[in-house]
Amino acid sequence: MKRTSSIIIPHRNRQGNLRICLDSIRVAFNNATDLDLEIIVVENGSACFALDRHAYPFDLKVIYNADPMPIFNKSRLLNVGIEESKGEIITFLDADAITGPHFFYSYVVLDDPTVTLLCHRVRYLERPLPEPYDFPGLFDHYEEFRLAYEGRQHPACDMRGRDEVLPVFGNSQCSIRRETLGDLRYNERFVGAAFEDLWFLRELWRRSGPYFKGVMPTDPMQSLLHIYSRKDDLANWRTAPIVNANREIFNAS
């Protein structure tokens, strides 16, 4: 029987990176077996946005969310994607993500009913990616790239690379069974960058109690790269006042 999965990608003004993301998913999908996959791109306010939905071997859906959003609200778009998704497994990815060629092999972790969350290891790609894209070759050098945030002991405790430290919460790139997610949704009070993912992970931990179990595979081919740039074309979404306001919401909740 096929495993059904939905990948939810919130998006605004990341068209170039989004196409790289989708191309990498295509490679991983072609390497997968018994996978029924839908990709849901929740689009808000991009200039000249266009995707050829028929260019991919999976079901690619674009939801045009026209909510007024002067500052990008990732949580709202993720929640829209959850409501539209059909898969038994739901994966949350940024438009800047590049999936490893065997990314979908990691889903076997969720066959264990004691596992709450599949956490995806992320490293930063901080150099231009030349065409044609050689995704297997890129992940052959995975260990050369800088590790991204990895929550351990507590969602807000960054202990990247400390694989021996439990529990593991990872970062915003994660997968979960629909039945485990239940009615949990992202907190839309977090506007702009930071803390929306930590709140979600902490809330999942709280609801799971002593039974919480996060697992992070370390095989590079099952992991992720993140196209990294501090020159943020979402301009006003990562400023000190925004991050501080989100920190206050997180600490008070």
Going by C-beta distance under 8 Å and a sequence separation of 6 or more, which residues neighbour residue 8? 40, 42, 78, 81, 82, 85, 90, 91, 92, 93
CATH number of the CATH domain containing 151:
3.90.550.10
At residue 27 the predicted structure's pLDDT band, cuts being 50, 70 and 90, is very high
Asked whether residue 130 carries a pLDDT value surpassing 90, the answer given is: no
Asked whether residue 134 carries a pLDDT value surpassing 80, the answer given is: yes
Total count of domains within the chain = 1
Dist CA 142 CA 99 (whole Å):
12
Which structural domain, as residue segments, surrounds residue 115? 3-252
Dist CA 64 CA 17 (whole Å):
18
Phi and psi, residue 24, nearest 5°: -70, -35
Dist CA 74 CA 6 (whole Å):
17
pLDDT per position as a tens digit, 156-211: 999 999 999 999 999 999 999 999 999 999 999 999 999 999 999 999 999 999 99
pLDDT per position as a tens digit, 54-99: 899 999 999 999 899 999 999 999 999 999 999 999 999 999 999 9
Dist CA 5 CA 168 (whole Å):
23
pTM, two decimal places: 0.96
Going by C-beta distance under 8 Å and a sequence separation of 6 or more, which residues neighbour residue 64? 43, 44
